[in-house]
Every structure is written in structure tokens, then in C-alpha cells.
Amino acid sequence: MIIASSLVTPDPGLIFWTTVVFLILLVLLGKFAWKPILGAVKAREQSIDEALKLAEEARAEMANLKSDHEKLVKEAKAERDQILKEAKETRDKVVAEAQNAAKTEAAAIIAKAQEEIKRDQEQAFKQLKAEVADMAVEAATVILKGQLADKEKQQALVNEYLKEAKFN
């Protein structure tokens, strides 16, 4: 049983040296390992905090940009609608002016054509009168030549004109 008891109870020298080695290891780790590890953890924690702050700022800026974008879109739509309205009004105005100008020009052309037709009619009537007068003179000349060729007919014609002249 002695062997079993030596396993359960440690030797005081072993406890001393284990404690000394543990303390040296603790000092070395504290001096060389824990400070850099704790510094790295602290730096990592700070970088995570900064990243979270930047993400929050970016989210807020995105919200602002989104609202600005929506505002710009609304303004652009309103401006587009205004431009379309003005273009429609301008188009309607130009069409109305063109229609009025066309009506005025058509009326002037019709009036000019009517005057030209009237002049042509008057000229045609004058020409027709002249031709009828010429034909009447020619017919009278032919008739008179036929009647004046014979002396008896000439005498009868003069007598007839004199009778008519007395009655008128």
C-alpha cells in the first residue's frame, strides 16, 4: 500500500518546483503572451465597434440618399409633367394658329377666285355682246343687201319704216 499512497500524496519538492515553474510560466505568459493577446482582442473589439458604427452611419446615409432619391424622382416627374403640359399647350396653340391662318388664306383665295370669275364672266358677256352685235350687223347686212338689191323692195322698206316712225 505504500506504493498507492505515494501516488496519491505528492512530494513536497515536486509541489515546490511545480509551483515555481507555474509562477515563472505565468510571469512569462503575462509579460510576453497575454499583453499581445489582450491587445489583439481589444484591437479586434475596437475594429468591430468601429465597423458597427460605420455600418450604422452607412445605413443612415443610405436612408437619407433613398429619401433624397425619392424626392428627386418626384421633382423630375413633376417637371416632366409640366414640360409635357407646356408642350401640349404650345402644340394646341400652334395648331390653332395654323388653322386660323389656313382659314384666312383660304378665304382670301376664295375671294380672289370669285373676283377673277366675276371679271371673266363680265369679259365673256362683253365678248358675247360684241359677237352678237357683229352677227346682228352681219345678218342685217345680208338682209339689207337682199332687200336693197331690188328697187321695189327698197321703196317698200322705206315706206314701212316711215309708217312705223309715225306710229312711234
Give the tens place of pLDDT for each residue, 4-60. 556 677 788 888 999 999 999 988 888 888 888 888 899 999 999 999 999 999 999
Question: Could you give the CA distance from residue 117 to residue 88 in angstroms, rounded to a whole number?
Answer: 42
Q: Shortest CA distance to 86 belongs to which of 74, 97, 76, 94?
A: 94
> How is residue 30 written as a grid cell?
503575462
The pLDDT, as a whole number, for residue 168 is: 47
pLDDT per position as a tens digit, 90-142: 999 999 999 999 999 999 999 999 999 999 999 998 888 888 777 877 777 77
The pLDDT, as a whole number, for residue 4 is: 53
pTM of the full predicted structure? 0.40
Question: Could you give the CA distance from residue 29 to residue 160 in angstroms, rounded to a whole number?
Answer: 170
